[in-house]
Amino acid sequence: MYNPTPDKGSNPNNQPDAVDENQTADTQAISGAPSVGGSNTPFSSGRTATATAVASAVDISRITWKGSPNHWVGRDNNTVVAIVNHIMQGTMESTNGWFKNRRSEVSSHFGVAKDGRIWQWVRVPDAAWGNGIPESPDLSLDWLADGLKRKINPNNLTVSIEHEGNTGDTFTEEQYQSSLWLHKYLITTYRIVPDRKHIIGHYQISAKSRANCPGKGFPWQRLMNELAGIPTPAPIKQPSNTPIPPNTNPINSMVDMKWIQGVSGVIITDLGVKTINTNNAYVRSKPSLSGTDNTLLRVLSKGKQLRFSGYTDAGPAFRGNVRWLLISDLDDGGWVHSSMVS
- pLDDT digits over 197-237, tens only? 999 999 999 999 999 999 999 999 999 999 998 876 665 44
Q: What share of the chain in percent tops pLDDT 90?
A: 57
DSSP string across 221-259: HHHHHHHTTS--PPP-PPP-S----TT---SSS---GGG
Contact (CB, 8 A) for 313 and 258? no
Asked if residue 256 has pLDDT above 80, the reply is no
- Parallel, antiparallel, or unpaired: how do β-strands 267-275 and 305-312 relate? antiparallel
How much is the average pLDDT of 318-341? 92
Asked if residue 89 has pLDDT above 90, the reply is yes
Residue 117 vs residue 45, higher pLDDT: 117
- Amino acid 9: pLDDT: 75
- pLDDT digits over 269-328, tens only? 778 899 999 999 999 999 999 989 999 999 999 999 999 988 888 899 998 999 999 998
- Amino acid 31: pLDDT: 30
Judged by DSSP in three states, 339 sits in helix
* CA-wise closest residue to 110 among 26, 184, 30, 172: 26
Asked if residue 20 has pLDDT above 50, the reply is no
- Segments of 4-106 assigned E as strands: 58-59, 63-65, 71-72, 82-85
Confidence of residue 266 (pLDDT cuts 50, 70, 90): confident
- Amino acid 85: pLDDT: 98
All domains in the chain, ordered by first residue: 24-56+253-342 (no CATH), 63-227 (3.40.80.10)
Judged by DSSP in three states, 210 sits in coil
- Amino acid 262: pLDDT: 76
Asked if residue 26 has pLDDT above 70, the reply is no
Residue 201 vs residue 265, higher pLDDT: 201
- Amino acid 49: pLDDT: 27
- pLDDT digits over 122-137, tens only? 989 899 999 988 999 9
Contact (CB, 8 A) for 308 and 327? yes
